[in-house]
Amino acid sequence: MPGAAAAARTILTRLHEVMAARTHAQAKLNQVVDIIGESLDSEVCSIYLLREGMLELFATRGLNQSAVHVTRLGVGEGLTGSIAANIETLNLDEAATHPEFQYRSETGEEKFHSFAGVPIVRRERAIGVVTVQHVEPRKYEEVEIEALQTVAMVLAELIHNAGLVDEEGLGDRSEAQSGQQVLEGMQLVKGLGYGKAVFHQPRINIEQTVAEDIEAERQRVYLAFDKMREQIDNMTGQAEFGVGGEHEQVLETYKMFAYDEGWSRRINEAIDSGLTAEAAIERVQQRTRQRMREISDPLLQDRMHDLEDLANRLIRIVSGQLGTAATTGLHGDSILIAKNLGPAELLEYDKRRLKGVVLEEGSATAHVVIVARAMGVPVIGRVRNLRGLVREGDMVLVDGDAAKVTIRPGQGVVTAFETRFARKKEREAAYAALRDVEPFTRDGERIEVMMNAGLRDDVSMLSVTGADGIGLYRTEFQFLVSATLPQRDKQTRLYRDVLEAAGDKKVIFRTVDVGGDKSLPYLSSETSAEDENPAMGWRALRLSLERDGLLKMQARALLEGAAGRELNVMFPMVSEVWEFDAAKEVFDGQLAYLKKCKHKLPSAINFGVMLEVPSLAEVLDQLLPRVSFISIGTNDLTQFLFAADRANPALAERYDWLSPSILRFLKRVVDSCAGSPVKLGVCGEMGGRRLEALALLGIGIRRLSITPAAVGPIKELVRKVDTREIGSAMKEWMAHPPECLRSALQEWAQRHGIEID
């Protein structure tokens, strides 16, 4: 069997002649099935095309000719229908054993055992299916399937040019309606936005798929690659977010793909098979999409999206159909609509006019989401069939808080939205006014309200919110947005930048909490991504201690980054005291080395732990003399106390943070730390909610580290509370829990004039 390129090329050369001939479309299709059947040595080759919503047999070699234009299948019906419905390839040695198999007697196909079929795709929709069948039960070889897929691409062009399918009926608009419609998605970045729908990518039409001159096509691709790389280099050089941030690394990953030799080689191979430059890029992209569907690792999927973003850019350059909506520019407030976006593509838009982003795909860890958060743009992802339901220019309301998109909203909805938006702005302004006000309770207790951060740009929120410092800096974020393990100098640079930006305010760096669900592609063979119970697996400090080099490198980076400043280091997932000792020893070792080499050292070093594994609470007497601070991670702590996976949506609302078991547990920790100089705080999401924060103040917590957006609301709450009053109410409830502690607290808050939203 010749290689895939040669196999496809033989067919394409013959197809090219057919397509150029001045014959009727039906005659062309009849010739096409013969060419494919002969080339793939198949008794049967058939083409089904979508007509009036049904897949109709248009041409066949090997099945009964009387079935042509008679056999019709619904999309999703039988093997052919399921290929079209799922836009997937099937390759079966025994068709009849497949659950979707349906036998059509008029075709006379009973004697054929093996079956392969690929969708004919135009504008990401199946407009038909090409199938091959064979008497002998054997699977088709990969090169044959590859050839069939390439042919299907060319067929899409032939079918389109001949007007054989009703493209209007298939168009993206087919399902667009005129009334108001609410679409649900997934919250990726919170916030509200309203504007006109702008499609990120105007459709690219590939006019010609079969190459006239292969060398000329190759040249076109080379030139396009050069131009694309130049664009990416310019873009990464101009990114607005300064140097040293995570964005820089996101863009670096992107750049790495742009220069990937494997990718350009695959495109070249597709050109060898006889495709034009545009068609070759698209062919490789189709394969990428196929692979993407098979990959379940979200981080890797995000990287694949970057590649798709680049491929789109390359096609646009090569075909001269330049420009995303960013090139033409946004006119007025806009909501960007896209299947997916690359981080660099988002950066091209005018930040002042971009009011929201809605994606068909997207995930919380995608690079584009990290960039959008830094730009302050709300994002909703995973909206099914988005581009089929929205029209360019439609008014769109993005409610990132509720993960809902309203298209063509009625006047009533717009008014309600505007009121909400105005109220939100007012509230934000009121909270902003508290920026420089110290959070004292009514009875004069100073509560430390700190914020959580993870990206370099988050640090700017310190001055916006007036938070007392960063109580939890999740250093693993730098690792998560990076394609390779961040080298020591990069880590050092980040830590130094963060401390510099924080000025006099305290920053508590948590050493990397990777592993488990936060798996890193470059460590995946060693992390617990495949553990049955990743949250309880080989993660965080457990992993850092055994991958000694990882912690050593981070220790050096932190010590060097904090030269001349106070360094606060916190270890995650400490379960036993010796783990703290072992981790501190790594720092001591690095410190001794730096001393010996006469490097400038931090002015002070404090060590602390996250209390998120319940076992640690039982040995606080041993731990307290060793540490300067303890931060309770209620996100993990609750999942371990209730044995309820924090990532499982089915359990998301089952257990309440305001339950006696959690609060009694926390109270015991507070009591165990009483009288010790060790600073105790809470840094889980719980502390950022007003009612929960009230309960925490009531059991004696005096330091909170919360999401930046919650700093204002919590400061405002603190100023309304008398800790003696809530303290005695909580004491009573801890001793004799009411039926519902949440309701009891709510009533109490209401009685004391404390607003809880």
In angstroms, what is the minimal distance from the CB of 635 to Mg ion? 5
- Residues 288, 311 contacting (CB under 8 angstroms): yes
Sequence-ordered list of residues with C-beta below 8 angstroms from that of 355, at least 6 positions apart, any chain: 193, 194, 195, 333, 334, 335, 377, 378, 398
Q: Which residues inside 634-663 make contact with ligand PEP, applying CB under 6 A?
A: 634-636
Residue 245 or 684 having the CB closest to ligand PEP:
684
In angstroms, what is the minimal distance from the CB of 169 to ligand PEP? 49
Residue 467 or 472 having the CB closest to ligand PEP:
472
In angstroms, what is the minimal distance from the CB of 740 to ligand PEP? 24
Quote the tokens at residue 749. Answer: 């808050």
Question: How does DSSP assign 351-385, residue by residue?
Answer: TTTEEEEEESS--TT-HHHHHHHHHT--EEE--TT
Binding mask 658-687 for ligand PEP (x = CB under 6 A): -------------------------xx---
Residue 474 or 667 having the CB closest to Mg ion:
474
In angstroms, what is the minimal distance from the CB of 612 to Mg ion? 5
- Residues 379, 355 contacting (CB under 8 angstroms): no
- DSSP annotation of 452 reads E
In angstroms, what is the minimal distance from the CB of 479 to ligand PEP? 13
Sequence-ordered list of residues with C-beta below 8 angstroms from that of 207, at least 6 positions apart, any chain: 157, 278, 319
In angstroms, what is the minimal distance from the CB of 134 to ligand PEP? 54
Q: Which residues inside 450-479 make contact with ligand PEP, applying CB under 6 A?
A: 472, 474
Helix, coil or strand: residue 58? strand
Report the length, in residues, of the chain: 757
Judged by CB under 6 A, the stretch of 483-491, 579-587, 629-637, 689-697 that binds ligand PEP is 629-637
In angstroms, what is the minimal distance from the CB of 684 to ligand PEP? 3
Q: Give per-residue burial for 126-139: e unless 16+ CB within 10 Å, then b.
A: bbbbbbbbbeeeee
Residue 310 or 682 having the CB closest to Mg ion:
682
Quote the tokens at residue 629. Answer: 């601070």
CA atoms within 13 A on the CB side of 653: 0
Quote the tokens at residue 239. Answer: 């990114």
Cα separation, 644 vs 741, whole angstroms: 20
Q: Which of 248, 282, 394, 513 binds ligand PEP (CB under 6 A)?
A: 513
- Residue 36's CB is within 10 A of a number of other CB atoms, namely 26
In angstroms, what is the minimal distance from the CB of 613 to ligand PEP? 10
- Binding partner of 474, given Mg ion, ligand PEP, none, CB within 5-8 angstroms per partner class: ligand PEP
Count of residues engaged in binding ligand PEP, rule: CB under 6 A: 10
Residue 278 or 458 having the CB closest to Mg ion:
458
Q: Can you give the binding site for Mg ion, defined by CB under 5 A?
A: 612, 633, 636
Cα separation, 508 vs 670, whole angstroms: 20
- Residues 409, 438 contacting (CB under 8 angstroms): no
- Binding partner of 634, given ligand PEP, Mg ion, none, CB within 5-8 angstroms per partner class: ligand PEP
- Binding partner of 683, given ligand PEP, Mg ion, none, CB within 5-8 angstroms per partner class: ligand PEP
- Binding partner of 684, given ligand PEP, Mg ion, none, CB within 5-8 angstroms per partner class: ligand PEP
Residue 37 or 633 having the CB closest to ligand PEP:
633
In angstroms, what is the minimal distance from the CB of 514 to ligand PEP? 10
Furthest C-alpha separation in the chain: 94
Residue 28 or 539 having the CB closest to Mg ion:
539
Helix, coil or strand: residue 394? coil
Cα separation, 369 vs 396, whole angstroms: 20
Q: Which of 128, 185, 191, 633 binds ligand PEP (CB under 6 A)?
A: 633
Which residue spans within 348-475 are E strands per DSSP? Answer: 354-359, 379-381, 395-399, 404-407, 448-453, 469-474
- Residues 91, 83 contacting (CB under 8 angstroms): no
Residue 128 or 633 having the CB closest to Mg ion:
633
Q: Which residues inside 472-511 make contact with ligand PEP, applying CB under 6 A?
A: 472, 474
- Binding partner of 245, given ligand PEP, Mg ion, none, CB within 5-8 angstroms per partner class: none
Residue 9 or 474 having the CB closest to ligand PEP:
474
Residue 330 or 540 having the CB closest to ligand PEP:
540
Q: Which residues inside 599-618 make contact with ligand PEP, applying CB under 6 A?
A: 612
In angstroms, what is the minimal distance from the CB of 612 to ligand PEP? 5
Residue 302 or 612 having the CB closest to Mg ion:
612
DSSP β-bridge partners for residue 198: 336
- Residues 5, 269 contacting (CB under 8 angstroms): yes
Helix, coil or strand: residue 409? coil
Which residues contact ligand PEP (rule: CB under 6 A)? 472, 474, 513, 612, 633-636, 683-684
